[in-house]
Structure 1
Amino acid sequence: MYGSYRSSYYPSYRYSYPSYGYGSSYYDRIYGNYSYGNYDSGGSDYGSSNYGSYDPYPYYSNYYYGYGRRRRNYWERDRDTYNSWRRNENTARTRTPSPETPPPPPQPEVPEEELVKELHVKDIDLHIKANTEKHRTADYDCTKDRKVDGKLEPAELVVRRGDTIKMTITFDKSPYSKEKNDLQLIFSIGKDPKPARGTKVEFKIDESGNQKFKPDKWGATLQDKTGNDITILVYIPANCIIGEWNFYVKTISEGKDKDGKDKTLSGTYKPKDDITILFNPWCKEDGVYMATENLLNEYICNENGAVWRGNHEQRGASAWNYGQFEEGILEICLHLVRSGFGPDKLRHMSNPVQVSRMIVKMVNASDDNGVIMGNWSGEYEGGTPPWKWAGSIKILKQWQKSGPVKFGQCWVFACVTTTVCRALGIPCRTVTNFASAHDTDETNSIEKYFSPDDEELEEYNADSIWNFHVWNEAWMARPDLEPYYPYGWQVIDATPQERSEGVYMCGPCPVAAIRKGDCSTKYDAGFIFSEVNADKVHWRVFPGDRAELIEILKDKIGKFISTKTPTGLQFKYKKHMSMAEKDDYAMERCLDLTMDYKPKEGTEAERESVMNAHRTARFPIIETYLGEEEIVKHVEFHLYHDNKAMIGSKMEIEFTAKNTGRNERKISYASIRVYAQSYTGYNGRMLLSRTFNGATLKPGEEKRFGAVLEPDDYLYYLLEQASVRIDAKANVDRAGDEEKQRARKEHVVRFRRPDLEVEGPEETKVGDTVRFKVTVINPLDRPLTNCSFSMESVGFEDLSEDVPTMDVPARGVHTEEFMLRAVKRKKYGAVYFSFDCKEIPDISGSTEIRINP
């Protein structure tokens, strides 16, 4: 009676909550991944259970007896306890003694083959070569046996989520039996793994061999059984947390003991190595899925890249060594992101949106002990000048060893970000925006203020326009922005310019949202829009801080947004190229992204995008998008100069005025000034100033004002990137019905610098020592002093320190030879050299070399 009551009141069922993961349901996020066994109220089906999983709703027999006593009936097991309680009952009733219970009959001896025996795991073969080739991770240096600090390190398994991996388990005494044995896998990550956090999961191995895996669930199925070996397929869900996962194999054996009683034995085996799991852009269910294989060859697999610098009239490119597959880099990148989230928020490492945001936060060292300290002061004592870096490997390894690295600027931040993203499996590219605005007051326009006599008011001018700025695009899905921007390229930026949510980071923000001027989109859409498509607005300030709108320049910001064409190949100048040939080569390998960020300048669609940005600006200036009164200008002004002048040569400047009206016009004032300028728009020393007497122009007449900038005027006063800003101004008096004019032209010019010529063989073998010849040509009429070389490579043993070298005489040529040993097989090995001196910083060159086994 009691048994029927118990079975009806405590039905045989289990609760099963869905597992936590990126894109999961509410209960996934709240309760984590629980998987409970299938037990009957009258017995145990342990072979199909998930042993060790916590059960928040245990049925009665489990709760009362615990696991080890479930098979015994309640009354058989506790008759003595019940009678003892009855004997102690205070009652006057007369008891009739019960007859003595006869001893149980002797049990037959259990045959040896039926006795329960523990199943021992001897070894697990992770099939590293086959798994890494399948998962496209074989290029990681850690997946091969190698020497690290003189010690032989065995290969490690690196795989991508959303796919299966093969394992072979070997048992040492007896083979695996489907009837008597069960296996469970336990995966965990972090210091205190918990199912509720998504950092621990347990699941059994399906024995049918035909289990169909679900994209967001862990699973395993038996594939083959031979002797004492079984081969299984383990499925890693496409929303798995990335990182180094520990895993265990739990064996369960059921049978009888010598007395014929049911007995269960279990054991645990921990392999020596962890399994590193990364994002999988080849998997449709992963948030970083990219359908085009050729693009993945560039944005995941290419270790070599290029970054464009200069200005929109002079765009030059230099090679960069990303090195995402090099020894130790993957471990450093994972540690970087993991340390940013902390141990309690590792679940966010399943979400590429949050991971990319954390990457840009941690690449700069402004708020945390991130990788790179920014410095735009021009003083780099105690660190490395930004232009001397040729790749990401030295930077990341130095950070791992001693903390934040000194120093970097925008292209260094961006190139290191590319390395980290590609290493973790997020498609990423380095992007340069020329004439890039920096909006400091969230008006979504760039304001510049002048005094009544047309002098710049530096105390008012917080906004700036950089000659160029480098950021990144990362490819991922945005389920938080559906249905408007479900997937695509997202801008991320590690350069510490403005704070986002209280810290220096920027993005991810969809490029498609920037094109529409949808500045309410997270993250940081307004700031990024201003960089590429804000209007430049000039104001004149009168006493009492009264401001008058002078003009709105609608096409001065966001020029030639550039990245490397996705060929999957190295960016490499050919030997003995002229400067013009190098320019042509760089432009051929440049992909112009400008139309992705904004419609064509001046079109109705482009103006609508700007208006959308003004409507959604945090602090809009109404007069800006109402527009200025159109003034017909009857005198045309132009500014001319040489855009390809080599450093050390003179520059001729010409400012012209042409009268296109009906009346004679008088130019009451004209001037040309030249300033040294940093690439961030900061004006340094005035290098040249020429003021011209007034001139009268008849209708159709043209007047030329000229000046010459000599080497002695600028050579020792140039700032980084060797840029100068040319300002030309003129005032035209009113004549008849033609209004007075104020003309201003601003051009930024970058002096050309020589490149290093790097010569070496086309191929070599691992272990061979290779001779490289590096040549620098001095274009100046004075020696280059305080000279040194530095280098970084893919596949070679790098120089640990800078190599000082002799001064290079005026107009002279200097060649240095370097002997480097090839240490790793590389299809596209490369060496990157940089040359530094007091007179001309930032001279670099590289060459490609194949390294055979």
Structure 2
Amino acid sequence: MESTPQTGPPRGQNRLQLVNFDIQENHISHETQGLSNKYLVVRRGKPFKVTLRFHGRMWNPKQEYLVLQVVLGEMSAKMLVRFYNKGSDPHKWSAWINPGDIGHCVVTVHICAPVLSSVAQYRLMVHFEGAHERSSYVAGLFVLLCNPWLKEDPVYMPNDAQREEYVKSDYGVIYMGTDLNYNQRPWLFGQYEPGVLEACLQLLQVSPQHLSNRRKDYALRADPTYLSRVICAMVNSNDDMGLLEGRWKGNYKDGVKPTDWSGSADILHRWMASKGNPVRYGQCWVFASVLCTVMRVLGIPSRVVTVFNAAHDSDGDLIAEEFYSSTGERLGLSKDSVWNFHVWAECWMRRPDIGAQYAGWQVVDATPQEKSGGVYRCGPCPVVAIQRRFLNTPYDTAFIYASVDADIVRMIVRSGKVVAKKVDTKWVGRLIFTKSIGSDVPEDLTDSYKKQKRPNVPAMAPYGNYSPVCHSSRAGPDMPGPFVEGCYASQAVMPHASMADVSGLDVTLTVDGEPTVGKSIELTVKITNLSNSTRLLMEHLNAQLKEFNGSPAKSFWKSHQELSIQPLEDLTRQHSISPSKYESFLADDDIVKISVVIKDLKTKERVLATQDFNLRSPKINIEVEGGDSIQVKKEHTAIVSFTNELNKTLSGAILIVEGHGLLQGKQEARLTVLRPDETIEKKVAIMASSLGTKLLSASFSHRDSSSVISRSFHKVFVTAQ
């Protein structure tokens, strides 16, 4: 592109009456239907049509040239309109007229952008240049996107079903909870909602890169690696005029609680309305889902991925540490954390900057955890580099590798010293899920991230067997360094004899059945005495609420029992936590950490076992009369109901129904009391104003609970009349 000349008002006779961008036909051809009713939206490397209508004197090709000019900021490119497309250069803008494209006062021109054009909104100019007369016209604006349908484009995706799912689909599923009993939550990406395209483009326009050097930014926007890095930083608001402010604990009254979001469009609309002030509040699945929306709008195939038991390795040693009290309570002593689930996006692209072998899915994580290049962003990182442990691959591979494959060191602390420790090599990244193509069933991506790991590194012996010297050497994943009891700032862990070998005890903890709000939580502890002597033991059980990002909360249930176990005996212990013990602490989708510490009262040796799980909420039924496919701008009826399956009467029952794009505001049903097996119901009239996938959501709460105890979602498909 060359510098744009200043263009004054049209000179000569005002001959150009109308420029028709043929939006409907071009949008069908370019797979951009629904992205905008205001602008022409096309994909690079594929021709689109523009029709010029004249009044008065028609264009005479024998007397003057027809020249088109595309303008982007201070840059522009001119195209001499030719007859026939004679193999134009794919790296330059080109324009041509086919036979039959010239009619009475009408000319249809075909325009093709280079395959590596910048993603942006362009201005189109029309020039007539003759020997004695020149005239210029502003034709209008159009938006140019990446083209995953074009083989030469770096984001090319060869499979139709994949493009349908990862580019065109406006509906996704987020998997949350724990690997033991995960749940799924729908999300509306909302790329076809009015104003979403404009918001996505505005994110680019207010980025620090654009504000500091517009010309350089425009030039680099041809590269999906660059685009994903800019958008990743702009989705969070930590360094810029970004989209979302994160909050992981405390009060959300000055914004929206992260669990209350169900789609990206509302967030993007609020950000635009606030003129660049961040929307409150987001957590990992919100950051990832909004990022996925923006990337799909820009034409980059994207999907949302959940990693269960994701490590946040704060010191870069590929090890995450957890500390427990001598009675099994998780302590907040470590800078590392293990999130029960963490959500990021994957974006599909080639990586010419690092080599063809790194093409394919790339991790892009907008949740602000650590800085990359001085900015809160992460990626794009090739998934194949994570699997092959090429930890120096750009960008942020070592950090992401630790998220899915770090070792967990669990330590029992008493009087400020570590008294026992165990290393778990399989806990982190136990499951990695994304939505399957055309289905809500999860697709397991674990093998694409992780090779088969070595067996569990044996656990350490109790405190007292090793020299109390603190080492600070860093260690890689296959070269562990020394660790010393009593040093909380440990950098790595040596393999040692297993705890079972040293103590002669093997302990397992399991959660029985499917824990559900309002019902007892059933636990089983199995102790095996591998020694030839009778053991006198103390069993400590502890249950505490846990934030999904690993932060421990106060314990709500404890059990302490002295036991005796015979030589080579298996002892099975059953425990039950009644609803009365947890209902004032726990609610819908909360995560619980259960830990057991078995202590030998004679030798003082201890063994730890732990398990995380989430409580299932009672179901809210949502039904649309006549089926889940409804016509746009036509009223339909939805019936929402909740049946009290608990064994007690609920006071002050509230059923709330919402539906962005289907309902105006919230609608409620209330009952003073809801007895066991009774139902509360709400009928609502729904009407969609636009096409696509919509969500009806419902929540149930009651006066005796401090928060929502159940939340449900229901997909509605809106079709043309």
**Alignment TM class, shorter chain as reference:** 0.7 to 0.9
The answer as to 2:562 corresponding to 1:693 is yes
List per-residue Cα deviations over 1:466-492 (Å, max 9, x = no partner): 11111111101111111441x110111
Tell me the equivalent position of 2:637.
Answer: 771
The count of residues paired between Structure 1 and Structure 2 equals: 676
| 2:252 counterpart SS class | coil
User: Which one has the bigger strand percentage?
Assistant: 2
Q: 1:623 to 1:322 in 2, by over 3 A?
A: closer
Q: 1:769 to 1:303 in 2, by over 3 A?
A: same
Tell me the equivalent position of 2:537.
Answer: 668
Shift of 1:317: 1.0
The answer as to 2:668 corresponding to 1:799 is no
Paired with 1:359 and 1:133, the residues of 2 have a C-alpha distance of: 27
Shift of 1:721: 2.8
| 1:360 counterpart SS class | helix
Paired with 2:582 and 2:490, the residues of 1 have a C-alpha distance of: 42
Paired with 2:549 and 2:710, the residues of 1 have a C-alpha distance of: 16
Tell me the equivalent position of 2:201.
Answer: 334
**Superposed, which structure 2 residues align to 1:397-408 within 5 Å?**
397-402=269-274, 403-408=277-282
The answer as to 2:403 corresponding to 1:560 is no
Larger radius of gyration: 1
Shift of 1:447: 1.9
Shift of 1:450: 5.8
List per-residue Cα deviations over 1:287-319 (Å, max 9, x = no partner): 211111110010011111111111001011122
The answer as to 2:406 corresponding to 1:534 is yes
8 Å contact from structure 1 (residues 672, 707) kept in 2: no
Tell me the equivalent position of 2:21.
Answer: 126
List per-residue Cα deviations over 1:304-337 (Å, max 9, x = no partner): 1111111001011122211111111111111122
Q: 1:692 to 1:247 in 2, by over 3 A?
A: same
List per-residue Cα deviations over 1:383-436 (Å, max 9, x = no partner): 222222222221211221123222222112222122111111111111111111
Tell me the equivalent position of 2:97.
Answer: 222
Shift of 1:184: 1.6
Tell me the equivalent position of 1:469.
Answer: 342
Tell me the equivalent position of 1:823.
Answer: 689
Paired with 1:831 and 1:764, the residues of 2 have a C-alpha distance of: 12
Shift of 1:526: 1.5
Shift of 1:438: 1.3
**Superposed, which structure 2 residues align to 1:425-824 within 5 Å?**
425-449=299-323, 458=331, 460-485=333-358, 487-539=359-411, 550-567=421-438, 571=440, 589-602=441-454, 613=477, 624=492, 626-630=494-498, 633=501, 634-661=504-531, 663-699=532-568, 701-718=569-586, 721-732=589-600, 742-760=606-624, 761-762=626-627, 763-780=629-646, 781-783=648-650, 785=652, 787=654, 789-793=656-660, 796-801=661-666, 803=668, 805-806=670-671, 809-811=674-676, 812-824=678-690
Among all aligned residue pairs of Structure 1 and Structure 2, give the percentage whose two residues are the same amino acid.
27
- The residue identity in structure 1 corresponding to 2:611 is H
| 1:446 counterpart SS class | strand
**Alignment match of 2:266 (pick from 394, 418, 430):** 394
The answer as to 2:216 corresponding to 1:347 is no
- The residue identity in structure 2 corresponding to 1:349 is R
**Superposed, which structure 2 residues align to 1:225-240 within 5 Å?**
225-240=102-117
The answer as to 2:177 corresponding to 1:310 is yes
Tell me the equivalent position of 1:136.
Answer: 31
8 Å contact from structure 1 (residues 445, 536) kept in 2: yes
- The residue identity in structure 2 corresponding to 1:360 is C
Paired with 1:649 and 1:220, the residues of 2 have a C-alpha distance of: 69
**Alignment match of 2:119 (pick from 228, 242, 250):** 242
Shift of 1:593: 0.3
8 Å contact from structure 2 (residues 517, 587) kept in 1: no
Paired with 2:651 and 2:174, the residues of 1 have a C-alpha distance of: 26
8 Å contact from structure 1 (residues 758, 847) kept in 2: no
Paired with 1:540 and 1:468, the residues of 2 have a C-alpha distance of: 24
Q: CA RMSD in A?
A: 3.1
Tell me the equivalent position of 1:160.
Answer: 43
Q: 1:813 to 1:368 in 2, by over 3 A?
A: farther
8 Å contact from structure 1 (residues 186, 248) kept in 2: yes
Tell me the equivalent position of 1:357.
Answer: 229
Paired with 1:777 and 1:481, the residues of 2 have a C-alpha distance of: 56
Paired with 1:270 and 1:809, the residues of 2 have a C-alpha distance of: 66
Tell me the equivalent position of 2:471.
Answer: none
Paired with 2:242 and 2:573, the residues of 1 have a C-alpha distance of: 51
8 Å contact from structure 1 (residues 716, 839) kept in 2: no
Tell me the equivalent position of 2:154.
Answer: 287
Tell me the equivalent position of 1:95.
Answer: none
Tell me the equivalent position of 1:210.
Answer: 85
Paired with 2:558 and 2:327, the residues of 1 have a C-alpha distance of: 15
Shift of 1:676: 1.6
Q: 1:791 to 1:369 in 2, by over 3 A?
A: farther
8 Å contact from structure 1 (residues 310, 316) kept in 2: yes
Q: 1:481 to 1:324 in 2, by over 3 A?
A: same
List per-residue Cα deviations over 1:98-127 (Å, max 9, x = no partner): xxxxxxxxxxxxxxxxxx986832222222
Q: 1:161 to 1:603 in 2, by over 3 A?
A: farther
Shift of 1:173: 2.1
Paired with 1:501 and 1:616, the residues of 2 have a C-alpha distance of: 28
Paired with 1:311 and 1:784, the residues of 2 have a C-alpha distance of: 31
Q: 1:672 to 1:504 in 2, by over 3 A?
A: same
8 Å contact from structure 1 (residues 245, 275) kept in 2: yes
Q: 1:276 to 1:819 in 2, by over 3 A?
A: same
Shift of 1:718: 2.2
Shift of 1:278: 0.9
- The residue identity in structure 1 corresponding to 2:351 is R
- The residue identity in structure 2 corresponding to 1:121 is L
| 2:286 counterpart SS class | helix
Q: 1:622 to 1:683 in 2, by over 3 A?
A: closer
Q: 1:492 to 1:305 in 2, by over 3 A?
A: same
Q: 1:654 to 1:757 in 2, by over 3 A?
A: same
Paired with 1:393 and 1:808, the residues of 2 have a C-alpha distance of: 37
Shift of 1:839: 4.2
Shift of 1:648: 0.9
Paired with 2:115 and 2:396, the residues of 1 have a C-alpha distance of: 28
| 2:353 counterpart SS class | helix
Consecutive unaligned residues in structure 2, runs of 5 or more: 457-473, 484-488
Q: 1:517 to 1:446 in 2, by over 3 A?
A: same
Q: 1:201 to 1:842 in 2, by over 3 A?
A: farther
| 1:241 counterpart SS class | coil
Consecutive unaligned residues in structure 1, runs of 5 or more: 1-32, 36-50, 55-115, 144-154, 255-263, 572-588, 605-609
| 1:178 counterpart SS class | coil
- The residue identity in structure 2 corresponding to 1:423 is V
Shift of 1:157: 1.0
